[in-house]
Amino acid sequence: MFKKRRVLFSLLSIIVSGIVILGVLLKEAQSILLTLDNMAIIQVIICATLNEENWQSGYEPIKMCFSFKNKNYKEVICSIPFDGENFLDAWGRPIIIKNQKEDKEFYIELRSNGRDGKLGTHDDLIIQGWKSK
């Protein structure tokens, strides 16, 4: 009888541990997907508004939130977490926005340093794209 209880308790411990680990993995996956979704929204809006006149000004988030005349852009971009200076990833760190002009195209890169917050590690999230003039 005692041996059966011990085996049952061990199995229950393994199941509970598995559920906890699964919860942690799902939370991490949710954070990654949320960050990628927000980065994609930012990139789409940048591509829709980027032109020869404004590409050097940089896309300062505060300007993006309040300068759009298009109500839909304004509502969507302002729904992304923001600390007053930068858009934030799911871990509360800035999303880095870079853009540059090469010949007749604009290069756009958005980067989150991921969960560890360190640049250039395996968990970085990067979205890159090109827009022709």
Provide the mean pLDDT of the chain: 83
Domain ranges of the chain: 2-132
Q: Which residues pair with 96 in a beta bridge?
A: 111
pTM, full prediction: 0.75
Report in angstroms the alpha-carbon separations of 30 from 7, 26, 40, 120: 35, 6, 15, 21
Condensed to tens digits (0 to 9), the pLDDT of residues 105-119 reads 888 889 999 999 999
Between 103 and 67, where is the model more confident? 103
Q: Identify which of 5-9, 20-24, 80-84, 119-123 has the greatest average pLDDT.
A: 119-123
Cα atoms found within 13 Å of the Cα of residue 27, Cβ hemisphere only: 8
| Spatial CB neighbours of 132, under 8 Å, sequence gap ≥ 6 | 104, 105, 106
Condensed to tens digits (0 to 9), the pLDDT of residues 33-82 reads 999 999 998 888 877 777 777 666 666 666 666 666 667 777 777 788 88
